[in-house]
Structures are given as C-alpha cells and as structure tokens.
Structure 1
Amino acid sequence: MPSPLPVRDGVGATRLHVPLTGSWPTVAAYMVERFFHLDSERLLERFDRGDIVRADGSPVPRDAPLGSVEFVWYYREPAVETRMPFEIEILHRDDHLVVVDKPHFLPTTPGGKFLQNSALVRLRNLLDNAELAPIHRLDRATAGLLMFSTRPATRGAYQLLFEKRQVQKVYEAVSELPGNGTLPAFPVVYRNNIDKLRGQVRVQVDDAKEPNSETLVELIRTDDRVVHTLLRPHSGKMHQLRVHLAALGIGILNDRFYPELQEDLPDDYDRPLQLLARELRFVDPISGQDRVFTTRRTLQEAPVSDA
C-alpha cells in the first residue's frame, strides 16, 4: 500500500492500522490510548494541524469516528538524536545497486529511537534518493556488507536472490575461548529451530522441532584468549549466527543477548559485538555478471596472524 506522504529528510511516513470496531468513539481516542506514553494534547494537536492523513492524503479530523478509516499515515516526531560517531562507506554504486560497509551500532532501517541514525536514512540523504531500500538486513550490532536497491523496478530481482538462497554469505566472529579450552571439532555444521516471537528481543529455540536454520562454522585461528571463526549460513534466521555460536559454547564477544540476556544499558562504542558480514557472492540478475563484495572492516578482538 503506497504512502500518501513523501519521504521527508530520508524518513518515510509511518502507517498505522486502526480497528474498525471497538470501545473508542474516535480514531483519535484509539491513538491516544495506543500511544499512551505520548502527551495526549500534543497528539490531538497533530490531528488539528492535518498531520495525520488517510490513504488519499486528506487529513483525518480529531472527531473522525472509529470505523471511518482503516489506515492512517503520519511522520514520527522522535526526540532529538545525537549523531552516532560512525560513517558508512560506499563500496559499490550503479544504476540498480548500492553496497556499503555498515558500522557496528547503526541499524539498517529506522526503528525505535533510531531514525536519522540508520543506514537507510543516512544513505537516502547522502545520495538524494528517496526510493533507496534495503535488499536484506543486518542486526544493529553487526558490522559489514549491506546491499540497497536504488529503484523499485529492479528491486524484486535482487530480493529474489536472497529468498532463493542464491547469495553466498560469509561472516567472521570472535568468541571468548571456553574456560576448559575445549573447542568444537571444526569444521562443524550446526542446525536448530529458531522462531522470533512478537514482543521478545531474543529468538526462541525449540530443539524438539525440525531445524529451520543451518550454519557451517570453520576455524580461522585461536590464541590464548579468543577463537576466530568463519561462518557460512545456509539460512537467514534472525540472530542465527549468535544463537549457533552460543549453542556451540563459543558465544560471540560482547553479545548482550546470547547465551544470556544482559541488562539493557547505553551502547558502549568501545565494545562492539564481534560479528562481521565479510563477503557477498551472487550472479547479478540484471547484468548476469558474477558479483563479489568484500568488507574493508576488521574485528578489533581478532587474533593477529602469525604471517
């Protein structure tokens, strides 16, 4: 469903589904309850200013009865953001595709308290392209290769590559050496069932179900404190690599979710998650060329090569 509002400062309008029936007399009353954490008078003033609109772009008045509109659009009004001290590096750009090196801590798309501090919004503003959209995603904590489509006409062809698992993805991770010094017998293929439940920050693992995720884990090197691994995921479940390494007893350094959920604290930029999207390989669906992209980033805790 297309938005009736244009992209503004790199950020698209938010769409909200409004119940057609319920105990709320008006659309505004529903939104006041739905967004109870916001100042109700400020929200009602947004109706009066015409900031909340229907699919045809017309304003929804404050007294619009519930059931008169099913979807509304509006621009979020986030608190002032302090710019994260990291930059995105563009590695490739053509008429259809932009490939970047995403830093740790920067989310792929806007969400929560992050709007301008997202890879998508920064790139839209930098390249002056409101049609830019991610083809896949990386966790906010993960650094490395991220691909964006520059135009809707060819976007589906690239998205289909990921849906059909025709993109070879390679990651690196650095984990703490287990206390007993015992490592898995590399290379190892790990599989399990991962499900993301609504409202939960961590995924749910169910070993009784048929596996729906798979990762090949290979050893790069170790030293007396860490183990450096190469990861080749066959599937792309949320948090898959973090879950699989934790299950193998080599949870990723600085992971605040796995194996144990830690206290939600402000980001510590000196302690990024030691996970990096290192390489992407695929046959370009538009040009037919073999594409290989490699990150220029490294993991700060990786052991130094003897070479």
Structure 2
Amino acid sequence: MGKTAWVFPGQGSQAVGMGQTFLDNPEQLQAINRRLGFDLLDAMAAGSKEELQRTEVAQPAIVAHAASLAQAHAKTGATPDLVIGHSVGEYAALVVAGVIDLEEASVLVHERGKLMSEVKDGTMAAVIGMTDVDEAFHVTEKISASGNLVQIANYNCPGQFVISGHVDAVKQAETDLKEAGAKRVLPLNVSGAFHSSYMMPAATRFKDVLASSPFKPAAIGVVSNVDADVHTAPEKLKALLTEQLYASVRFEACVRKAIDAGVDTFIEFGPTSPLSGLIKRIDSKVTIKQATTLEEVAALGGEVRA
C-alpha cells in the first residue's frame, strides 16, 4: 500500500460561511479568539467576502479551518506520511505535524498577514496555458530590469504559475506573457505582491516573531514550499517560513517530492479544494480526496489508511 500526504491550501481558498461547519464544536476556536482579540469563528461563519479577503483575517481563518478538519480526521486514527501546505497552508501542516498547536499557528499567521498587508503597491496574476517557464522567467527579468519588479511567485502545476510584483510591472507582464504564449493572464484579488522581493521587509520583522514561537520537532515530515524538501528540525522550519514570504512557492516540486517518496494518495483539507486540481494535473494517476466540512471528514471514514 502506498503512502498518504495531507495538503492544505493557502490564501484565496477562503469562502463565505466556511466556519459554519464548526458552530457546534467551537471550543478550540473560542480559545483562539482570546489570543487574537477578535471573534475568528464569527468572521469564518458570518463574515462578508470583503472581510474574509483581508489578509490578516483570511490567513488565520484558512489555517484554523484546514487544521481543525485534519485534527478531526486524525481522531479516527488516520495519520499522514507527509504534510504539504501551499503558502500560508504550511502553518496548518505544522499543526498536524505537531510542531505548534492551532492557537499558536493562528496567532502567527494573523501577525504574518498584518505584516504582509502593510507592503503596498503590489499585486499578483495567474498565468494559464504557458508551459515554457524559462521563457516566462526571461520575460519577468526583462521587465524588472527596466524598473519595477515582477517575479514568478508560485509554480503550481504544468501550464499554471503566478506572477507577483509592482502593479505596473504585473500589468506589463500580462501583455508580454500573452505575446510569449500564455493563453490567459488573470489578475488576482490580493492585497500585495506576496512571494516576491517586496515582502523582504515583512520577512525581516516576521523573523523576530517566529524567534519566540515554541516550535517542536515535527513528528511528520513537512515538505517545504521553499526547497521542496522534507524537514523536521524546528529552527530550520522557522528559517524556511521566513524565507517563504519572499521566495517562490514550489508546489509542483513539493508534490513530485511526495510522489517520489511513495505517496499515491493526497487528501486536501480546507474551506475549498483548489490544490486537488493542481495535483491531478501534476500526476493524473494519484488518488485525490477532499474534506471541506466535518461531514466530508466523516465521509472519509475507513477509506483513509490509519
């Protein structure tokens, strides 16, 4: 029997009403509220689309939702062989791996979101249908050399990546990448140029936040977005999480790393399931399952290897 990886989506996976699944079991989220100083469960269950798009709200909401679902599944005796998070989803992965508890993760990503949202004049766009990533890199390098920065932020799957940078540079890249072969370039509704060099000031400040966080060695291997390798050491994980703010998310390489390690089943826990389609495009032969509610966690039942 093959191995299983649990995966956790990042910002953009939030959805209005996502917290409804936890209204009957709010104890853990109420404890998180006391640490955050606002009602996260209320924002998750009744918050508007606009509220949930605020980075400092979206990030703890996504992490709390995804990690809570995975913890519920773990109570059945199920356990993954590896965990993978996409961007802020790595913090849900850390909770499942036993590195930090959910309260600590929620506080960290709330602070992370605040620091990221303070960096202005940036945006992101998804590039669809362009398989020549080297050419795309040359396009972004040429634009950056002329003034404002734009970089490849996420390597998601074959034919899909995300660019990030100054608003004007991203707009220029939309035109130039289409000329270079992209079928579509879709602006993303985000508050900044995440996973680009614009985030380095935020990373410097966030490093100090992480320094005092009580990380433990991971009981389950965490595949890092930064280098697509498996890590368990607390200080190394902290260093990678700092770098992750301005480094590219190498999600495709993370998935391939898991497959090379023997993983043939991926289970995505989150408010929605954007990673499942990416994984299927990376390798159509693997088994992919999703859980977005406690009811869907229950439906996984005995299908998941304990």
TM-score range, shorter chain: under 0.3
In terms of fraction of residues, the more strand-rich structure is 1
TM-score of the two chains, using structure 1 as the length reference: 0.26
Compare relative contact order (CA 8 Å, sep 6+) and give the higher one, 1 or 2.
Answer: 2
Structure with larger Rg? 1
TM-score of the two chains, using structure 2 as the length reference: 0.26
